[in-house]
Amino acid sequence: MTINILGISAYYHDSAACLIQDGTITAAVQEERFTRKKGDNRFPKNSVKYCLNQGQISINNLDHIIFYDDADLKFDRLKNTYLAYTPNGFESYYRSMNAWARGKNNITQLLQNELISHCNVNREKIPQISSVQHHLSHAASAFFPSPYEKAAVLCLDGVGEWATTSVWTGEKNTLYPQWQIDFPHSIGLLYSAFTQYIGFKVNSGEYKLMGLAPYGEPKYADDIVSKLIDLKDDGTFRLNMDYFNYPVGFSMTNTKFHDLFGGSPRLPESELTQKDMDIARSIQDVTEEIVFRLARTIKKETRQDFLCIAGGVGLNCVINGKILREGIFKDIWIQPAAGDAGGSIGAALAFWHMALNKPRVIRKPDSMNGSFLGPAFSNQEIQTHLNTTGAKYFYFDDSDLIPKVAELLAQGYVVGWFQGRMEFGPRALGARSILGDPRNPKMQQLMNLKIKFRESFRPFAPSVTADSVSEYFNLDRASPYMMLVAPVKSQLCYPMTDAQNALFGIEKLNIPRSQIPAVTHIDYSARIQTVHMETNPRYYQLLSEFERITRCPVLINTSFNVRGEPIVCTPEDAYRCFMRTKIDYLVLENNFLAKKEQTIRDTDDSWKTEFELD
Amino acid sequence: MKKIVAMIIYTCNIPVGFLSRLFRRNRFKRNINKNVKTYRCEPDTIRFASQDRISVTQKYDEDADCPDTLYPMW
């Protein structure tokens, strides 16, 4: 008799659901992909329905439902926060308590009500609902699917209940908590404070800050270390809360913070200055130093060979790559959905292994199925949709389709690539991707401005066949989830002249810096995805075919969406995105569409405001 | 009306908050301390909270230097 566990993360940001069947991850998906609202935090009703459908079960067949957060403990933190800051923070208190009074204080009942209203089920048929602490969910999402029998685990995020940083050791089917750092002292919130100060959105713009950092110099790092944070040798830290407003305010920082950095926060969408870039670089460097110290301490104390990482800060792939290159651990594994969405997997797995005491089966390369855990669509379903919309398409077998697409990419065309099960986590890994030729020096600008409609400073990531990764990058192992940044091989790089080095930040990006300029960031680094025949055979074949034509097994891989839009989920989403942008060709499984042959053109530009800018 | 009730409750918190600060039980105001070697805290007890309140496992690191183990006393 199969034991079915549904994991849910919701009500903060990035709601998601996953289904674990006898300890195997059957399905996992973020709610934003269905609702088309980025970072959707509502109850993941569509995700739950998808997971049940994928597992071929109904809600009556579920044995447990596990929520990724301990509401009592979180309420304890809120209560204490408001007590600590009284009489300040009334407005925030009022809003927060309103949300809790509306149901968050009784998460079991809240989830039951949601399931009754969305899943057509009687209350008595709903299985036991339990909850797991936020950082245990993160730690479990990092350790249990990893390929290691035992490992140290580091969780770094904004905040869940009390913990903001936590250290664990994992062995067999158990996680042992070692120590933690509590709210309000949070590396994630520190990074988010700078994200907001530089004019990006909290909980979504952090990766932009990371991408902006290489354009700057760490001129403010000393100020950060001397005034904002007290960092101990072991990597533990406390923030000087005199500079922050987030515990009870609606902004992350206060006027004292603004005075320290010489002015008010940058207005969103206004021009980026060298100062913004210097600040981005400074906080990135400080964050790296904190994580390095933590990693060294963890190694010294736990004596583990391997490290697993989760929590939103785990998405900082620059830091991940540097930890790996420091050689502190033999290897590291990062949960591909390191943010709160991945908490749904962690909560369910923690319950399976630790509450039900089920043994752990270690799978190689890991238990995430390449992170391809979302919905897939058959050729027939796709054709039904295309016929309805009147789209012109051709059906090709893989043997014809893949060489054709590779040839078009080599000619400089941009291709929307939709195949197989959708990725779980923030990265497109070749199932819902926009692809281009990385050798083309104009491709980066073209894709940023005409296809993604996003800021021109943002770099693109390369996909490379796993066997060729070390020929192009200083990386000697797999990075299937685009979680590691590594330098491009020096023999492929072009040195900058003095005149080029003197250019203003973003202008530097237009200078080709390597043989694959479109995926080489200005510090000669790249966020690498290795593609493996075992987990993504069609994409692997496409890369191999592209290599046959061009001698280059690398493609630009960016998520199939426009700025502010969640990654496309269905063929409808993909077709809509294709028609609204300058993507030249679209591949929907084996169906091939050319933009020039489509007659239905969306001439109305108002859709550009459909998605709130991130 | 709701807002007025919330304001009354919040006002009641003010003396508690002040007292906690007075007796340094306010973890939020215990900021930077150059004299300690570490800021690590004891981990939360692992529990799988449910209708049945199952407490499954817990482990404390007894040796950890933990300046924040005194959770607010109020």
Indicate whether A325 belongs to any domain: no
Answer whether B27 sits within 8 Å of A182, measured CB to CB: yes
- In a mutational test of the B interface, the residue from A67, A79, A165, A179 whose CB has the highest number of chain B CBs within 10 Å is A179
Q: pLDDT at residue A276 above 50?
A: yes
First to last CA, chain B: 28
Partners of A239 in the β-ladder: A229
Answer whether A129 sits within 8 Å of B10, measured CB to CB: no
Answer whether A130 sits within 8 Å of B64, measured CB to CB: no
Is A495 buried (19+), middle (13-18) or exposed (0-12) by CB count in 10 A? exposed
Q: What is the pLDDT of residue B53?
A: 44
Answer whether A247 sits within 8 Å of B2, measured CB to CB: no
Q: What is the pLDDT of residue A248?
A: 87
Residue % of chain A over a pLDDT of 70: 98
Rounded average pLDDT over A584-588: 97
Indicate whether A2 belongs to any domain: no
Sign of CA dihedral A451, A608, A505, A521: negative
Indicate whether A129 belongs to any domain: no
Residue A351 has its nearest CB partner, among B29, B42, B48, at B48
For chain B, what's the residue count? 74
Tens-digit pLDDT profile for residues A390-404:
999 999 999 999 999
Answer whether A98 sits within 8 Å of B2, measured CB to CB: yes
- Name the average pLDDT for chain A: 93
Q: What is the pLDDT of residue A271?
A: 92
- Is B10 within 8 Å of chain A by CB? yes
Domain harbouring A408, CATH code: 3.90.870.20
The reply to whether omega before A184 is within 30° of 0 (cis) is yes
Mean pLDDT check: name the lowest of A310-314, A600-604, B43-47: A600-604
Indicate whether A280 belongs to any domain: no
Rounded average pLDDT over A263-268: 95
- Is B50 within 8 Å of chain A by CB? yes
Taking CB atoms and an 8 Å cutoff, what residues of chain B touch A182? 27, 41, 68
Q: What is the pLDDT of residue A609?
A: 67
- The residue range of the domain holding A589 is 379-609
Using 50, 70 and 90 to split pLDDT, how confident is the model at B69? very low
Indicate whether A338 belongs to any domain: no
Other CB atoms within 10 A of residue A353 CB: 21
Using 50, 70 and 90 to split pLDDT, how confident is the model at B59? very low
Distance CA A561, CA A449 (A): 13
Other CB atoms within 10 A of residue A597 CB: 12
Answer whether B39 sits within 8 Å of A162, measured CB to CB: no
Rg (chain B; Cα; Å):
17
- The residue range of the domain holding B6 is 1-74
Is A543 buried (19+), middle (13-18) or exposed (0-12) by CB count in 10 A? buried
Mean pLDDT check: name the lowest of A280-284, A362-366, B10-14: B10-14
Q: What is the pLDDT of residue A433?
A: 98
Q: What is the pLDDT of residue B28?
A: 63
Q: What is the pLDDT of residue A106?
A: 85
Q: pLDDT at residue A320 above 70?
A: yes
- Is B46 within 8 Å of chain A by CB? yes
Using 50, 70 and 90 to split pLDDT, how confident is the model at A611? confident
Looking at chain B, which residue has its C-alpha nearest residue A226?
B32
| Counted domains in chain A | 1
What single string gives the DSSP state of each residue in A3-60? -EEEEEE-SSSS-EEEEEETTEEEEEEETHHHH--TT--S--HHHHHHHHHHTT--GG
Indicate whether A581 belongs to any domain: yes
Residue % of chain B over a pLDDT of 90: 5
- Is B49 within 8 Å of chain A by CB? yes
Using 50, 70 and 90 to split pLDDT, how confident is the model at B56? very low
Tens-digit pLDDT profile for residues A346-372:
999 999 999 999 999 999 999 999 999
Rounded average pLDDT over A82-105: 82
Mean pLDDT check: name the lowest of A92-101, A429-438, A471-480, B18-27: B18-27
Rounded average pLDDT over A261-285: 95
Residue B50 has its nearest CB partner, among A97, A129, A184, at A129
Indicate whether A509 belongs to any domain: yes
- Is B24 within 8 Å of chain A by CB? no
H or E segment at A280?
A: helix A274-302
Answer whether A241 sits within 8 Å of B38, measured CB to CB: no
Indicate whether A570 belongs to any domain: yes
Distance CA A110, CA A337 (A): 25
Residue B61 has its nearest CB partner, among A84, A179, A182, at A179
Rounded average pLDDT over A532-545: 97
CB pairs under 8 A between A and B: 143
User: Model-level pTM?
Assistant: 0.92
Answer whether B13 sits within 8 Å of A131, measured CB to CB: no
Q: Which residues contact A412 (CB under 8 A, 6 or more apart)?
A: A437, A440, A443
Answer whether B33 sits within 8 Å of A230, measured CB to CB: yes
Q: What is the pLDDT of residue A563?
A: 87
Residue A87 has its nearest CB partner, among B6, B14, B74, at B14
Using 50, 70 and 90 to split pLDDT, how confident is the model at B49? confident
| Counted domains in chain B | 1
Q: How far is B53 from chain A (nearest CA, A)?
A: 8
- Name the average pLDDT for chain B: 62
Using 50, 70 and 90 to split pLDDT, how confident is the model at B8? confident
Is residue A23 within 8 A of residue A412, CB to CB? The reply is no
Answer whether B51 sits within 8 Å of A230, measured CB to CB: no
